[in-house]
Structure 1
Amino acid sequence: MSLPRFAVALSLFLLLSPALRAAERDADAPAPHPPGAAIASAHKLATEAGFEILHAGGNAFDAAVAVSSVLSVVEPISSGLGGGGFFLLHDQRSGKDVFIDARETAPAAATPQAYLLANGDFNRDRAENGPWAAGIPGLPAALVHLAKNYGKLPLKTSLGPAIRIARDGFPVYGRLVRGYASRRDVMDRYPGTRAVFQVNGQALKEGDLFKQPDLARTLQLLAERGHDGFYQGEVAKKLIAGVKAEGGQWTAKELAGYQVREREPLRFKYRDWQITTAPPPSSGGVAVAQMLQILEAWDLAKLDEVHRTHLTVEAMRRAFRDRTFYLGDPDFVDIPMKTLMSRDYAAGLRATINPEKATPSDIFSGQPTPLEDDETTHFSIIDGDGNRVAATQTVNLLFGSGLIPPGTGVLLNNEMDDFALKPGTPNAFGVMGFEANAPKPGKRMLSSMTPSFMESADEVAVLGTPGGSRIITMVLLGMLGYDQGLGAQEVAALPRFHHQWYPDVISAESGAFSPQVADALRKMGHTVDLPGDTASGGRGSSHVWGNLQTVSWNRRSNTLTGGADPRNPVGEAKVELSQPAAP
């Protein structure tokens, strides 16, 4: 694939430790620890913050607090303290994996009826914009939880870079300017938002210094008081007042009562890999497990591109159908996990695939039921002890709900749209849901975020990406890339395609398919949606997708590498090597 000429997106550093030189160990034995640390994030300042904390004596989990919080400052288009996220952790000393669920929760007032117009139609503006679009944020609680339970340094130290950057500012980059322009009609509704993103009534321009003193104050209170610094006291009062001023209905009790959940990650085998990934309320881990277990019967590397793509799409189709009907918040919904994760169930789905012909999605409707931008961010970390973090965080759409409660600097999410607010009605990403994902007070909306680990006898990989419903299929393609022997950079640059059951269309980014491959897939019965192409029955999919961040550790050669997604125009790819100690 010939990628467009975007600047390389991700800042990547490799810090090599002299303590573990390859010459000092058996060349045939896997290294017990990496030779240093690797961090891959969507912004150079976030990656640098992670290394600042490692240099201060922190571990991967302290670094995750720093990277996450700095991304909350420099990427408000994608994530922030007003949103949520998932953190997949591996503690090398204990061998324990844990999944930190910091997904937003539904306010009690956010009933399905609240999102209907007087005539019964779905009120999409309320679902996507302003106070009713926002769930109770989870990211601040996650940062406190990580520092308290897994880090080595005080929260004040790990939040230090974010506080400094919010106070002193950073240069505005092009994606922020373009994103604001595309959402300005919404963001200009709210005085708190205008106060942050405008100077004398004018929007920030590329190269301007973007200072956020209110956000710095909020981060400082979080650093000093932990959970109570955000969910109670000064910040909480301002959040509630700002939401109520715009017609929303948050309460002090539900804000103060927010807690992260520690969940057991999903684990399954694919060929020679042990996969550790996100459980519900993420739909991603279940869907990726289903897709890979369907595909494991074929040696994909030996197939031609057309048949390899066809089979992969058919696996995507079946997994997304199950996502629609069965998945939701496991604290509220009885999910048939044993069946959905079963190899026997996957074999049954596989048996319905015709190797030469597309399966129309309406065949899988199951029973008579209504039919049903990808701005998020991800970072990956491996430290010198072998601890690792895969974290995906979001405010959902570009700049979330667009609402900043005055005096907080906190841009609120619009994750309520990820609920099935009206059963069978597609959300902003075109995916549907039914009762399993209907809103209830305190319930967490279904997500596609899929932070994941891959581990074989020779290699450990950490990966994830933003991308809405396409997150799942981008992670799938990344895992298939690692299985085919690609390096981290090659995995990050892989061309991307996607199918989500409904609409019954293969969408693809620029350069993903040659005209010959696209035509062959159409002859199999697929509708193929290429960028700008509506004549063939597609809708004209977007140019490029996602911002996959990945790091890998080859335990045989004891080397670390990172994948810089070339689609993201922010930052640069960078390597930092320390000098080995003298023999």
Structure 2
Amino acid sequence: MMRQALRALVSASVLSAGLLLTATLPLHAAQKAARPAGHPPGVAIASAHALATDAGMEMIRAGGNAFDAAVAVSATLAVVEPISSGIGGGGFFLLHDAKSGKDVFVDARETAVAASTPAAYLDDKGELNRDRATNGPWSAGIPGLPAALVHVSGKYGRLPLKTTLAPAIRIAREGFEVYPRLERGYGSRREVMERYRGTREVFLADGSPLKAGEILKQPDLARTLELLADKGFDGFYHGEVAAKLLAAVKEEGGQWRADELAGYRVKEREPLHFQYRDWTVTTAPPPSSGGVALAEMLQMLSGWDLSKLDQAHRTHLITEAMRRAFRDRTIYLGDPDFVKMPLARLTSVDYAAGLRATIHPEKATPSDLLPGQPAPLEDDETTHFSIIDAAGNRVSTTQTVNLLYGSGMVAPGTGVLLNNEMDDFALRPGTPNAFGVMGFAANAPAAGKRMLSSMTPSFIESKDKLAVIGAPGGSRIITEVLLGILGYDAGLGAQEVAALPRIHHQWMPDVISAEKGTLDAQTVTALEAMGHKVNAGENTWGNLQTVSWDKRSNVLEAGTDPRNPVGKGAVEGR
């Protein structure tokens, strides 16, 4: 029942939004049930741009593995999606090494500099200076993505960086076709971006703003990527590029130090693991909030058979679980190197059972009745890609510069567009950030600290199926991944999961957000009768990318979000 209802919603939502499944893939004919296959029959990659997916496949054909493909996809997205990510930003790489069976979480989140104290972001009235928090050098943390490319390539890949970065370097130098989302995003950020000399040199090179169909060339970025390929970590964090980054930040009034840039390091962390029904979920630990929130939501929802509920009650329970998880996100989570968090308790089945008991099956819980201070406890502006290779290695990566075009500031001579991730800190406790998410002391900035993130790269695996999943979307990343996992659990395929219509609740503000066409009038009326506030007419959001392997039929599938016409999923045998 739930599977049929979800498939009907997928069809209705896609048609009502005028969207096309641009990355529909030819699949093998269904096979009779058999023993699960030992290895995937080939390679599957899904990313937000066709050039990035092609770059990943190029590495596979060159003899590389999923990790080499990930470096190529990541770097290429950094070139063709400046609106969403770049080497001036950061990200999380969730890796599974098939040979050792080990899962590892590579944390390449940006870090705060010493000058970025909370006081630096307040105006003369003591209010948050939103412009400083989201635009220009003060909004930028030390980038982590270049270090991640070097780390993943050197420790897990087979191919040299000069090979894996070659597609990105080529595309940066020769250019790519501007697509409508880049043009629209530039229009919305134009006033900010044109403040900065380096940004004007890249995005106004011909004297006029980006237009869809034009070719965007980034020769300075190509040079920076060449230095990274040639010198590794030192090619970005020392020497020529580092000097230009530091000079650019100083020129615009910011305060970075050379030792802060040179001292950046990625960190390998143990992923979170938990069970949801027949699935083992492997996901992001702090400084991502996504994995903890997923564990809370899914373990709360495991107490109900969602397939037997009508849409109103299913939506009610899902959003009540979202509400409680986001409340805990706000209060408890931060950088694990700075904050002691009760992770064992927050992710336990007992804690989820306690939260579940507070959910009334017929009534909404007003968010202001959930306390906004810690209770006693014992303890479109991002991009994502997913990869499985023929050896069973897998990668789930989410990377970002935060808001559209990050800080808006390109460091002259580098092509590097800096992030504006400082807004993800609780710069003024209790004041929402650009995504409407609040934070408190656990997520306050400090020198070297990593800001809390919603990025939720994940693996899910049952006896018969494996999926790699993740999405962009600010605070809505977490709920996109949640709905995708529920879709897989209901029996949907990868493309159906990527196309699923979306709902969201994040504790504050106290409202259910839904894409237009997701909730019918009868469902909205029923939810409002329960006490929910509902906005059922929102524009589409997110850009989910997922790949799956059906072990019984030995079929790979790649699913790319139909909301994104330049995305591409690809499956190839080996």
TM-score normalized by the length of structure 2: 0.95
Q: Structure 1 CA distance, aligned partners of 2:205 and 2:119?
A: 38
Match of 1:6 among 6, 13, 19: 19
**1:368 offset after TM fit, Å?**
9.3
Counterparts of residues 207-356 of structure 1 (less than 5 Å): 207-356=213-362
8 Å Cα contact 1:7-1:568 kept in structure 2: no
The SS at the match of 1:143 is helix
Indicate the SS of the match to 1:161: helix
Which digits, 9 at most, give the CA deviation of each residue in 1:538-565, with x for residues without a partner?
Answer: xxx4x10100000000111110011121
Query: Which segments of 5 or more consecutive residues in structure 2 lack a partner in the other structure?
Result: 1-11
Counterpart of 2:456, as a letter, is T
Residue 13 of structure 1: how far off its partner (Å): 9.1
What are the Cα deviations for residues 378-437 of structure 1, in whole angstroms up to 9, with x where unaligned? Answer: 000000111000000000000000000100000000000000000000000000000000
Contact conserved, 2:487 with 2:497, CA < 8 A, in 1? yes
Matched, 1:173 2:179: yes
Note the alpha carbon deviations across 1:479-516, whole angstroms, 9 max, x for none: 00000111111111111000000001001111110111
How far apart, in 1, do the equivalents of 2:155 and 2:185 lie?
36
Shift of 1:329: 0.2
Match of 1:554 in 2: 550
Q: 1:83/1:366 Cα in 2 relative to 1: closer, same or farther (>3 Å)? A: closer
Q: State the secondary structure of the residue aligned to 1:90.
A: strand
Q: Secondary structure at the match of 2:416?
A: coil
412, 415, 431: which one pairs with 1:425? 431
Aligned to 1:513: 519
| Residue 204 of structure 1, CA deviation | 2.2
Deviation at 1:39, TM superposition (A): 0.2
State the distance in 2 between where 1:501 and 1:94 align: 40
* Aligned twin of 1:565: 561
Q: CA separation in 1, counterparts of 2:374 and 2:446?
A: 25
Aligned to 2:417: 411
| Distance of 2:386 and 2:40 partners within structure 1 | 15
**Equivalent position of 1:440 in the other structure:** 446
Tell me which residue corresponds to 2:534.
528
- Distance 1:556-1:418 versus aligned 2 partners, 3 A rule: same
| Residue deviations 1:431-463 (CA, integer Å, cap 9, x gap) | 000000000000000000000000000000000
Tell me which amino acid in the other structure corresponds to 1:507: S
2:73 is the counterpart of 1:60: no
Query: What SS does structure 2 have at the residue aligned with 1:547?
Result: coil
Query: Equivalents in 2 of 1:154, 1:7: separation in Å?
Result: 38
Task: Indicate the residue corresponding to 1:455 in structure 2.
Answer: 461
Distance 1:315 1:9 in 2: 33
Residue by residue over 1:38-67, the C-alpha shift from the partner in whole angstroms, topping out at 9 and shown as x without a partner, is 000000000000000000000000000000
Deviates most, 505-514 or 325-334: 505-514
**Alpha-carbon separation, structure 2, partners of 1:397 and 1:10:** 26
SS of corresponding position for 1:445: coil
CA contact (8 A) 2:24 2:559 kept: no
CA deviations over 1:22-48 (Å, ceiling 9, x no partner):
99xx96321111000000000000000
Cα distance in structure 1, aligned partners of 2:560 and 2:340: 39
Kept in 2: contact 1:130–1:402 (CA 8 A): yes
Aligned residue identity for 2:549? W
SS of corresponding position for 1:203: coil
Amino acid of the structure 2 residue aligned with 1:555: K
DSSP 3-state at the match of 2:467? strand
1:144 aligns with 2:140: no
Task: Report the AA paired with residue 19 of structure 2.
Answer: F
CA shift in 2, pair 1:460/1:74, >3 Å: same
* Cα distance, 1:200–1:556 mapped onto 2, change above 3 Å: closer
Equivalence for 1:197:
203
Instruction: Give the alignment of 1:90-169 within 5 angstroms.
Output: 90-169=96-175
**d(CA) in 2 for partners of 1:81, 1:10:** 27
8 Å CA contact 1:465, 1:546 repeated in 2: yes
8 A contact 2:47–2:568 mirrored in 1 = no
1:42 counterpart = 2:48: yes
Please give the alpha-carbon distance, in whole angstroms, between the structure 1 residues aligned to 2:98 and 2:331.
Answer: 37
Instruction: State the shift of 1:10 in Å.
Output: 5.4
- 1:536 corresponds in structure 2 to none
Q: Return the letter of the residue paired with 2:434.
A: A
Task: Give the 3-state SS of the residue equivalent to 2:58 in structure 1.
Answer: helix
1:171 and 1:206 in contact (8 A); partners too: yes
- Measured after TM superposition, the shift of residue 530 of structure 1 is 2.4
Percent identity between the aligned chains? 72
AA in 2 matched with 1:330: P
Pick the aligned partner of 1:76 from 59, 74, 82.
82
For the Cα contact (< 8 Å) 2:53–2:570, is it kept in 1?
Answer: no
Q: Any idea what the Cα deviations from partners look like across 1:288-325, whole Å, max 9, x if unmatched?
A: 00000001010001111111110001100000000001
Report what 2:4 is aligned to.
none
Whether the 8 Å contact between 2:246 and 2:257 is mirrored in structure 1 is yes
Please give the alpha-carbon distance, in whole angstroms, between the structure 2 residues aligned to 1:313 and 1:501: 9
2:501 to 495, 501, 504: 495
> Hey, what's the Cα distance between the residues in 2 that align with 1:189 and 1:89?
39
AA in 2 matched with 1:159: L
Q: Secondary structure at the match of 2:275?
A: strand
Q: Specify whether residues 125 and 157 from structure 1 end up closer, same or farther in structure 2 by C-alpha distance, changes over 3 A only.
A: same
Q: Is the 8 A contact 1:44 1:571 kept in 2?
A: yes
Partner of 1:68, secondary structure, is helix
Farther off after superposition, 418-427 or 514-523? 514-523
Question: Could you tell me how far apart the structure 2 residues matched to 1:574 and 1:147 are?
Answer: 22
Tell me, in whole angstroms, the C-alpha distance in 1 between the residues paired with 2:128 and 2:324.
27
Tell me the number of residue pairs that the alignment of Structure 1 and Structure 2 aligns.
557
Q: For 2:139 and 2:353, how far apart are their aligned partners in 1?
A: 40
Q: CA deviation at 1:207?
A: 1.2
Following TM superposition, by how much is the alpha carbon of 1:144 offset from its aligned partner in structure 2, in angstroms?
A: 0.1
The CA distance in 2 between the partners of 1:141 and 1:367, in whole Å, is 37
The gaps in structure 1 that reach 5 residues or longer are: 532-540, 579-583
